[in-house]
Amino acid sequence: MVASGIYAYLPLGRLVLERVCGVIRKHMNKTGAQELSMSVLSPLAMWEASGRDKTLEPIMLKVKDRKGRDLCLGPTHEEEVTQIAAAFLSSYKQLPFTLYQIQTKFRDEPRPRFGLVRGCEFLMKDAYSFDVDEAGLKIAYEAMRAAYEDIFKECGLNIVMTAADSGPMGGSVSHEFMVEAPIGEDALWFCQTCSKYYREQGDCPTCKKALVEKKMTELGHIFQLGTKYSAALSAMFVDKDGTRKPAVMGCYGIGVSRILAAIVEQSYDDKGIIWPKRVSPYDLSLVVLDDSLLAQALELSDELAGVGLTVLVDDRIAGAGVKFNDAYLIGNPFIAIMGKNYIACGKLDLEIRKTREKRSLSRQELVNFLREEFNG
């Protein structure tokens, strides 16, 4: 913590962030969305066109530069992306397209809290689709919904999707992606018999039993915006019939830094964090307990790098207990110990972090096991 609501990511945390971003990029690119990078600073005048200089005023961080320009730190980017689209959009032949970015965003939170969950400065993925009509928007929206399910699944998260209010974003249809979290600030109502979530308190509409409250955190929110921003900022195209129309837009957000907090909330034990396989800082912690084995440990690490796996080699001069505790705490999904069993009979002691299951494997068996685990 640099200050309340403001955080730095140390090297291991940053690696997790990078891997989560990698998962998001993979699934965004699969839908055909193209990544761009918009600006953090934007002139306040741009926000006047949509009227959000007023509706977003309570959360905007503003700055005046020495030339007297009124700027703000972008809390979201509908206006800027629409302005970009307006600059090059002319014909229906250019549609549909979807643009996205992964970027630090800023909101003046009245009560920054729960670490990465509600901060003033946070990482977000925001995507924006542009279509000729509502039917096209529905296709883009459905592709994003499906991509979101894949993203959260690959991050090891159990997500609940619910219809939601569009609020100050505008538009009609919107859905939220939420996870259960003890520190959650939203609530859903859960039927323990039917295993279903509801927005309203009361009895289960199906089995009539009483619903119980679950605290939830929102990780993603998708919106069918319609033409609110394209009409206000002139992102127009000439349609087949020769008429000029505003593009029909959708927007799709994911709280990237929140995903980290949500994973830790859902996946830990008394020893520390248990990172899911695809988003751990490293794939394997390799604990070396004898200096004479260091060269062989680095050779194994190189072999695993050759098949795309990452290894954190603990070669510190420290006791075995210290090294084991740190390996558990860091939470890489697999821990291999290179010690007296390796000297005596060439065996590494492998531990699966999640189940605490242990195996004794030769070097080749370990490589095969990990390849199977990560590519299988």
> Applying CB under 8 A, which of residues 106, 130, 177, 229 lies at the interface with a second copy?
106
> Applying CB under 8 A, which of residues 90, 91, 104, 360 lies at the interface with a second copy?
104
Residue 185 Cβ, how far from a second copy at the closest point, in Å? 19
Residue 84: count of CB within 10 angstroms of its CB: 17
Q: Tell which residue, 160, 315, 146, 131, has the closest CA to residue 235.
A: 131
Q: Is the peptide bond before 96 cis (omega within 30 degrees of 0)?
A: yes
Residue 54 Cβ, how far from a second copy at the closest point, in Å? 16
For a second copy, the closer CB: 179 or 249: 249
Using CB under 8 A, which of the segments 2-10, 158-166, 305-313, 352-360 binds a second copy?
2-10
* Cβ density class 107-146: b for 16+ within 10 Å, e for less: bbeeebebbbbbbbbbbbbbbbbbbbeeebbeebbebbee
Q: Strand (E) positions, 194-330?
A: 196-198, 212-226, 236-238, 244-246, 248-255, 268-269, 272-273, 284-288, 311-314
Tokens representing 270 are: 């008394």
Residue 66 Cβ, how far from a second copy at the closest point, in Å? 5
How far apart are the C-alpha atoms of 222 and 245, rounded to whole Å?
23
Instruction: Write the binding mask 39 to 68 for a second copy: x where contact by CB under 8 A, - elsewhere.
Output: xxxxx--x-----------x--xxx-xxx-
How far apart are the C-alpha atoms of 317 and 336, rounded to whole Å?
17
> Applying CB under 8 A, which of residues 2, 135, 163, 345 lies at the interface with a second copy?
2
Residue 189 Cβ, how far from a second copy at the closest point, in Å? 33
User: Could you say which residues in the range 118-137 bind a second copy, by CB under 8 A?
Assistant: 120-121
Instruction: Write the binding mask 4 to 23 for a second copy: x where contact by CB under 8 A, - elsewhere.
Output: --xxxxxx--x--x------
> Applying CB under 8 A, which of residues 53, 80, 265, 349 lies at the interface with a second copy?
80
Say whether residue 238 binds a second copy (CB under 8 A): no
Per DSSP, 91 falls in state: B
Residue 58 Cβ, how far from a second copy at the closest point, in Å? 8
Residue 43 Cβ, how far from a second copy at the closest point, in Å? 5
Say whether residue 358 binds a second copy (CB under 8 A): no
Please say whether the dihedral angle defined by the alpha carbons of residues 154, 160, 162 and 166, taken in this order, is positive or negative: negative
CB 290 within 8 A of CB 339: yes
Q: Which residues lie near a second copy (CB under 8 A)?
A: 2-3, 6-11, 14, 17, 34-43, 46, 58, 61-63, 65-67, 69, 71, 73, 80, 83-84, 99, 104, 106, 108, 110, 120-121
